[in-house]
C-alpha cells in the first residue's frame, strides 16, 4: 500500500503521579471533531489521562474509542466518572455524556488551563474549521468567531498538501523553512484552489519546500485576517493540530507580530480538556459547592 503521508501520530498519556482512587471528583471531556477525537480525564481538576485518535465514520463509535483509549490500563471505568461533557462537531452523539457544550466554550476553558490565566486570545486550528476566541482570566468567552464553511486554513488543508507533495505531515513545518527567500503565498481562499495552484507550480519546477512555504504563508495570512476581526490581545495561544506545525505557527506570529505561548500538553486536547473542566464544575454545582 502506498504510504499515507497525511497520517498524523495518535497518542495517549496517563499521569504517573495521580491515583484516581484518591480523587473526590472524577470528570471527563470528549471532543469529537471532524478529523480527530480526544478524551481527557481529570481527577479533582488535575490532568490524569488523555487520548487523541482519528475520528471514524461514526461519532458514537469514535467517542467510545477515545474514551476507552484514555482509560486503558488505568483500571478506571466509565461508571466511576462523575460527569462527562461532550464537545466538538459530534458532541450531541456522545452516548455516555451527560451534557453537550460547544467547542468554543470548551476551547477557551481548556486553553485557560493549558496556558494559564494570562491567555486572552486563542486560535484553534482544527481539522475542518478555524476558531478565533477571546476570553477573560477565568476562561470565559468574551468574543468569538468561527469559520467552518471552508477548509482553507485548517488541518485538512495541510493533510492535502502532505499527500500532494509526498512529505510526512510532521516534517511539513521544518521543510517549509528550507527556502532562500519567502515566495508569494498561494491562494488563501480555498484548499482546492490552493492545491491546483500548487500542482501548477510543481509543473513549473518549484521545489516542495518552496510550495510548502507558499502554502503555509497563505494559511497564516488567512487566519491572521480572521483574528484581526476579533482583535488580538496578549497573551496569545494556538490550539489544535496545526499548532504543532512550526511552519504555520511562526508565520502567524510574524504576520501578527505577536509570540504564541509554548504549549505544555498535546495542543489537540484543549477542547476535551475544557469539557472535562466544565464537567467538574457541573458536579460541584450539583453538590452545592459553587
Partner 1 sequence: MLAHYGYKDGSGEYFIVIDTDKCDGCEECVTACPYGVLEVGEDENDPFREEPVARVTEEHRKKIKYSCAPCKPASGRKPLPCREACSPGAISHSW
Interface positions with partner 1 (CB under 8 A): 99, 101-102, 104-105, 140-150, 189-190, 225-226, 229-230, 278, 281
Catalogue the E-assigned strands of 136-207: 141-147
Give the nearest distance from C-beta 273 to partner 1 in angstroms. Answer: 15
Who's near 19: CB < 8 A, 6+ residues apart? none
Q: Whose Cβ is closer to partner 1: residue 9's or residue 117's?
A: 117
Nearer Cβ to partner 1, position 15 or 102?
102
Rounded to a whole number of angstroms, the minimum distance from the CB of residue 282 to partner 1 is 8
E strand or H helix at 30, and its extent? strand 26-32
Smallest separation (angstroms) from partner 1 to the CB of 228: 10
Q: Rounded CA gap, 268 and 284, in Å?
A: 26
Q: Judged by CB, which is closer to partner 1: 8, or 113?
A: 113
Residue 140, exposed/middle/buried by CB under 10 A (0-12, 13-18, 19+)?
Answer: exposed
CB of 190 to partner 1, least distance (A): 6
Cα(198)–Cα(206) distance, integer angstroms: 9
Nearer to partner 1, 146 or 202 (CB): 146
Task: Please give the order of strands across the beta sheet that includes 83-87.
Answer: 11-14, 46-54, 36-43, 26-32, 83-87, 99-100
Judged by CB, which is closer to partner 1: 163, or 255? 255
- Least Cβ distance, residue 186 to partner 1 (angstroms): 14
Q: Measured between alpha carbons, how far is 34 from 49 in angstroms, rounded to an integer?
A: 22
Amino acid at each position: 500500500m502506498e504510504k499515507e503521508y497525511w497520517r498524523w501520530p495518535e497518542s495517549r498519556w496517563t499521569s504517573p503521579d495521580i491515583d484516581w482512587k484518591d480523587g473526590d471528583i472524577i470528570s471527563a471531556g470528549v471532543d469529537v471533531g471532524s478529523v480527530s477525537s480526544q478524551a481527557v480525564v481529570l481527577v479533582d481538576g488535575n490532568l490524569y489521562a488523555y487520548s487523541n485518535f482519528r475520528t471514524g465514520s461514526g461519532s458514537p463509535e469514535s467517542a467510545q474509542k477515545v474514551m476507552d483509549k484514555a482509560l486503558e490500563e488505568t483500571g478506571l471505568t466509565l461508571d466511576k466518572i462523575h460527569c462527562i461533557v461532550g464537545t466538538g462537531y459530534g458532541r450531541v452523539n456522545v452516548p455516555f455524556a451527560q451534557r453537550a457544550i460547544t467547542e468554543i466554550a470548551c476551547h477557551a476553558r481548556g486553553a485557560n488551563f493549558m496556558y494559564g490565566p494570562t491567555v486572552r486570545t486563542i486560535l484553534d486550528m482544527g481539522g475542518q474549521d478555524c476558531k478565533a476566541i477571546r476570553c477573560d482570566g477565568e476562561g470565559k468567552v468574551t468574543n468569538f468567531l468561527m469559520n467552518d464553511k471552508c477548509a482553507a486554513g485548517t488541518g485538512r488543508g495541510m493533510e492535502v498538501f502532505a499527500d500532494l507533495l509526498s512529505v510526512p505531515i510532521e516534517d511539513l513545518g521544518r521543510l517549509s523553512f528550507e527556502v532562500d527567500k519567502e515566495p508569494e503565498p498561494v491562494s488563501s481562499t480555498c484548499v482546492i484552489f490552493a492545491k491546483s495552484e500548487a500542482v501548477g507550480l510543481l509543473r513549473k519546477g518549484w521545489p516542495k519546500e518552496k510550495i510548502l512555504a507558499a502554502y503555509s504563508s497563505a494559511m497564516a495570512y488567512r487566519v491572521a485576517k480572521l483574528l484581526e476581526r476579533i482583535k488580538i490581545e496578549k497573551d496569545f495561544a494556538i490550539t489544535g493540530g496545526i499548532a504543532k506545525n512550526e511552519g504555520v505557527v511562526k508565520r502567524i506570529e510574524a504576520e501578527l507580530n505577536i509570540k504564541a505561548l509554548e504549549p505544555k500538553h498535546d495542543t489537540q486536547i484543549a477542547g476535551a480538556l475544557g469539557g472535562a473542566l466544565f464537567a467538574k464544575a457541573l458536579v460541584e454545582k450539583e453538590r452545592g459547592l459553587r
